[in-house]
Amino acid sequence: MASSLILLTITFTFIILSSPVTNCATSAKTATHPIPPFKSIYAFGDSYTDTGNTNSTTGPNAYLYASRSPYGQTFFHHPTNRYSDGRLVIDFLAQQLSLPFLPPYLSKTADKSHGVNFAVAGSTAIIYSFFVKNNLTLNRTPQSLQTQLVWFNEFLETKGCKNSITTPKECKAVFDNALIWLGEIGANDYAYTLGSSVSGTTIQKLAIGSVTRFLEAILNKGVKYLVVQGLPPTGCLTLTMYLAAENDRDTLGCVASSNKQSYAHNTILQAKLNDFRKKFPNAVIVYADYWNAYASVVKNPEKYGIKELFKACCGSKSGLYNFDLFNTCGSPLATSCSNPSQYINWDGVHLTEGMYKAVAELLLEGKFSNPPFEYLLSSKRRSG
């Protein structure tokens, strides 16, 4: 029973939450782009992108303390329901574009004039009914990428946009000055089926199919500027290291089988994006290579001031990784390190602000996006 619980609990690996009350209106301006190239951002994905559509009472079971200290200590100086000590990649993107942090869609009071975040922590690419059918429903996040598309359609209808054929003027008004950001999605699909009879090959096919249909749907509405993140190297997360056999390691020192799985997923995803570039030549479609950006930090940690690659900053002091599945960050028996910026892993399954900042810089300013993010910005500037 205990081993089954551990295997299923890995499903809750990508839960990064934020409060719709405490951060929605926070303005984040930088000198990089004093005149915002975009007027709005619309984001989708799972916990690596969620800014408040779930919280510790509605999210998965493994982490119930996101509303408690020390979460949020580094930047916000109080818990914001993000499963980190500070900001996420999507927050650094907003800063890069001189826009406010994105409010969650489910917030009824937030100012959504500069964009909306539809991402849901624990969300899957595959529709939730698939997991119900296969008796894989211990997670508490029934929303899938399809749910996020439904929400987006509802939001677009308030703008009069249905599709580029029947409402071209209205959709053009939405998308001409909007950046669409699809954060990583699909890692939970693999994790939710760990230890079950559902094969990784099946998940790969269904997850990629779901993402493909989602992208085609939004591109048909007239999306012009789109960034799609790949999966991170899931084998480098503390929880994965904690659970896997010690002989299952790759050259990064991470769990080889998990990293191989996410890398293969990304390879197929990139091929699908190439197809979309041909089908929608007027759209700028960027692949954000989260896997290799993350790996770059692991390979050169000193460049980013990082000293701990695999230990959790916040967690139990027991064991090799400062991690105990039953005493996670924020729980009464957990403790937090004093220098989270020197860690990659925050609470064992989520990353520190320092790591998110490093990855964001590599994706937005470095060589880990294809074409480079600057190409997308230049295209936007040329179009006005």
Catalytic residue numbers, as ranges: 47, 347, 350
Question: Among positive and negative, which fits the CA dihedral 191, 129, 49, 184?
Answer: positive
SS3 at position 84: coil
Q: What are phi and psi of 197, to 5 degrees?
A: -85, -5
Q: Which two tokens stand for residue 217?
A: 């749907």
Which residues are 86's β-sheet partners?
A: none
CB 217 within 8 A of CB 149: yes
Alpha-carbon span 239 to 169, nearest angstrom: 48
Q: How far apart are CA 233 and CA 250, in angstroms?
A: 11
| Residue position matching structure tokens 């609470």 | 347
**Tokens (6 digits) for 240:** 């994965």
Which of 171, 273, 290, 293 has the alpha carbon at shortest distance from 226? 273
CA–CA dist 273, 294 (Å, integer): 21
CA count, 13 A, side-chain hemisphere, 376: 29
- Both tokens of residue 205? 């096919």
DSSP code per residue over 205-269 = HHHHHHHHHHHHHHHHTT--EEEEE----GGGSHHHHHHS-TT---TTSS-HHHHHHHHHHHHHH
Q: Given strand 178-182, what is the order of strands in its sheet?
A: 115-117, 40-44, 178-182, 225-229, 284-288, 369-370
